Amino acid sequence: MKTLSRRVGCFTDSVIRRMTRISDQYGAINLSQGFPDFDPPQALMDALAKVAYEGPHQYSVTYGAPNLRQALAEKFQRSSGLSVDPETQVLVTCGGTEAMMSTVMAVCDPGDRVLVFSPFYENYGADAILSGAEPIYVPLVPPDYRFDPELIEQGFRQGAKAIILCNPSNPCGKVFSRQELLLIGELAERYDAWVITDEVYEHMVYAPAVHTVMAGLPGMADRTLTCNSLSKTYSITGWRLGYLIGPESAVEAAKKVHDFLTVGAPSPLQEAAVTGLHFEEQYYCELNRIYREKRDYFLAGLDRLGLKHNVPQGTYFVMVDIGDFLALPRFQNMSDLAFCEWMTREIGVAAVPGSSFFREPVNNLIRLHFAREKGTLDEVFRRLGKLSAILKESEFLQLQQQAPKA
Ligand code: GLN
């Protein structure tokens, strides 16, 4: 009997991206996989049109076009205060996804352990498994997603070689404070571990929260591998442009993985993206303002509908509590996945079940994103109205039952 890889049998496809397919199947509004429904900046589209005629159309240097690496190094220097060598410390990848995978593969051998916060962006599970590494999970505890540093230390004592840190954090919207990052950094230093960060939402941080670049903290430059992407910052998720910045030895190792995995990110898109990296600070402030406004608009809408949710400090994700629904007879014993499938079909709004992010048995949360035009969000509220009507109706029936009979 022919067999397939046991390793690949250890994880499922991405539920985030599966929900996109289900959403498309039912023509729902897709608030599951996070990507905007609006265009990238005009200057980027113009640059892409120009590249169509002027090239390049052939491979770039495997590690990324030199002008893009240079621009990434400059942007990183502005945010972290670190000066990095674009030749040896920057690697351009196919999306943040490949940056993470190449990095975890470059760091871990089969049998190694890696610390992962839970809830976590689901790719990290597959990244660890494909690298042969065993994840040790550290809970971020709802509602404010705090962690117990003692559990991180325990993980390092068990020999964890690296910690994966998503900041701002997908799916829970936590922004790690400078204090928390210093603490994590101190532990990583004490146990001589790598810190692999995923900072793709760095510009979606809502005051008073601020984004702190881990690598820029004292002593962290030599042990931090910063993974990032242009997808969210320039609204170009389909361009598949990501990058890794870190110390030379680790980036050299990741370059080898990247070389054999994908050879390189699409060169015309790299060329066009350089335009975005040269935007003034004003662009990032405006992006932040737009997303903050969307966040507040979305949360206010959920409040009006009586849907319970967290208040994300960063990212464009919100966790909505469906516990009250699952307590109703019509949803009893339903998994959050089945609820999301039902909601996509019957309500016309797609979300991601929380269980695909949590290590712990969490069944009462679903993740929605708000990277949508206001008009689309209004339509979402209209559709979710049908959902909240179910709750209101059951409350009404309950009250009727409790009311003293005349
Ligand atoms: N980060 C996005 C999300 O969590 C998806 C990214 C992707 O699908 N590559 O929805």
* pLDDT tens column, 170-221: 999 999 999 999 999 999 999 999 999 999 999 999 999 999 999 999 999 9
- Whether residue 291 is predicted with pLDDT greater than 90 in this model: the reply is yes
Last residue of a domain, one of 279, 309, 336: 279
pLDDT of res. 274: 98
Dist. CA 131–CA 106, nearest whole Å: 8
Query: Residues 309-322, buried b or exposed e (16+ Cβ, 10 A)?
Result: bbebbbbbbbbbbb
One-letter amino acid at 244 equals: L
Report yes or no on 362 lying in a domain.
yes
Last residue of a domain, one of 279, 306, 338: 279
What pLDDT, in 10s, does the model give residues 56-78?
999 999 999 999 999 999 999 99
The CATH number of residue 292's host domain is 3.90.1150.10
The Cβ of residue 2 has, within 10 Å, a number of other Cβ atoms equal to 3
User: Of 89-93, 121-125, 389-393, 402-406, which gets the smallest average pLDDT?
Assistant: 402-406
> Which of 382, 311, 303, 312 minimizes the C-alpha distance to 347?
382
Last residue of a domain, one of 222, 246, 279: 279
Do 235 and 132 sit in the same domain of this protein? yes
Do 141 and 194 sit in the same domain of this protein? yes
> Which of 98, 87, 53 minimizes the C-alpha distance to 271?
53
Query: Which residues are CB-neighbours of 4 under 8 A, at least 6 positions away?
Result: none
Q: Do residues 104 and 133 lie in contact, with contact meaning Cβ atoms separated by under 8 Å?
A: yes
pLDDT of res. 406: 56
- Whether residue 112 is predicted with pLDDT greater than 90 in this model: the reply is yes
Spacing of C-alpha 236 from chain mean position = 15
> Which of 118, 218, 216, 214 minimizes the C-alpha distance to 169?
118
User: Of 48-52, 104-108, 238-242, 388-392, which gets the smallest average pLDDT?
Assistant: 388-392
- Whether residue 138 is predicted with pLDDT greater than 80 in this model: the reply is yes
One-letter amino acid at 163 equals: I
Report yes or no on 46 lying in a domain.
no
Dihedral over Cα of 62, 68, 74, 80: its sign: negative
Do 265 and 187 sit in the same domain of this protein? yes
Number of folded domains that form the chain: 2
pLDDT of res. 402: 79
Report yes or no on 48 lying in a domain.
no
Confidence of residue 388 (pLDDT cuts 50, 70, 90): very high
Number of the ligand 1 atom closest to the C-alpha atom of 96: 9
Is the beta carbon of 33 within 6 A of some atom in ligand 1? yes
Q: Do residues 278 and 272 lie in contact, with contact meaning Cβ atoms separated by under 8 Å?
A: no
Do 34 and 74 sit in the same domain of this protein? no
Helices 267-277/66-80 angle, 10° precision: 30
Nearest-CA residue for ligand 1 atom 2 is 34
Do 32 and 93 sit in the same domain of this protein? no
Confidence of residue 241 (pLDDT cuts 50, 70, 90): very high
pLDDT of res. 28: 98
Measured in Å, residue 55 CA sits from the centre of ligand 1 at 29
Q: CB-based burial of residue 169 (10 Å sphere; 0-12 exposed, 13-18 middle, 19+ buried)?
A: buried
Is the beta carbon of 146 within 6 A of some atom in ligand 1? no
The phi-psi region of residue 219 (left if phi > 0; otherwise alpha if psi is between -120 and 50; otherwise beta) is: left
Report yes or no on 51 lying in a domain.
no
Sheet holding 134-139, edge to edge: 90-94, 241-245, 224-229, 194-198, 160-166, 113-118, 134-139
Dist. CA 282–CA 134, nearest whole Å: 42
pLDDT cut 70: percent of the chain above it: 99
Do 166 and 302 sit in the same domain of this protein? no
Dist. CA 356–CA 132, nearest whole Å: 20
Instruction: Please state the rounded mean pLDDT for residues 130-157.
Output: 95
Do 222 and 342 sit in the same domain of this protein? no
Query: Residues 341-353, buried b or exposed e (16+ Cβ, 10 A)?
Result: bebbeebbbbbbb
**Which residues constitute the domain of residue 70?**
60-279
Is the beta carbon of 16 within 6 A of some atom in ligand 1? yes
Number of the ligand 1 atom closest to the C-alpha atom of 33: 10
Number of the ligand 1 atom closest to the C-alpha atom of 14: 8
> Which of 160, 147, 169, 164 minimizes the C-alpha distance to 226?
164
Report yes or no on 210 lying in a domain.
yes
Do 14 and 99 sit in the same domain of this protein? no
pLDDT of res. 62: 97
Do 30 and 169 sit in the same domain of this protein? no
Top-confidence residue, 144 or 71: 71
What CA–CA distances, in Å, run from 290 to 256, 310, 335? 38, 20, 34
Report yes or no on 369 lying in a domain.
yes
Number of the ligand 1 atom closest to the C-alpha atom of 200: 1
Probe ligand 1: pick from 13, 24, 35, 97, max atoms within 8 Å of CB? Answer: 35
Measured in Å, residue 96 CA sits from the centre of ligand 1 at 9
Is the beta carbon of 97 within 6 A of some atom in ligand 1? yes
What torsion, rounded to 10 degrees, do the Cα atoms 119, 158, 213, 169 define?
0
What pLDDT, in 10s, does the model give residues 253-269?
999 999 999 999 999 99
pLDDT of res. 142: 84
- Whether residue 338 is predicted with pLDDT greater than 70 in this model: the reply is yes
What pLDDT, in 10s, does the model give residues 21-34?
999 999 999 999 99
SS3 content of the chain, % helix, strand, coil (to 5): 50, 15, 35
Measured in Å, residue 123 CA sits from the centre of ligand 1 at 9
pLDDT of res. 405: 62
User: Of 4-8, 271-275, 309-313, which gets the smallest average pLDDT?
Assistant: 4-8
Report yes or no on 125 lying in a domain.
yes
Do 237 and 334 sit in the same domain of this protein? no
Do 25 and 69 sit in the same domain of this protein? no
Q: Are strands 160-166 and 113-118 parallel, antiparallel or unpaired?
A: parallel
- Whether residue 364 is predicted with pLDDT greater than 70 in this model: the reply is yes
Report yes or no on 329 lying in a domain.
yes
Do 147 and 251 sit in the same domain of this protein? yes
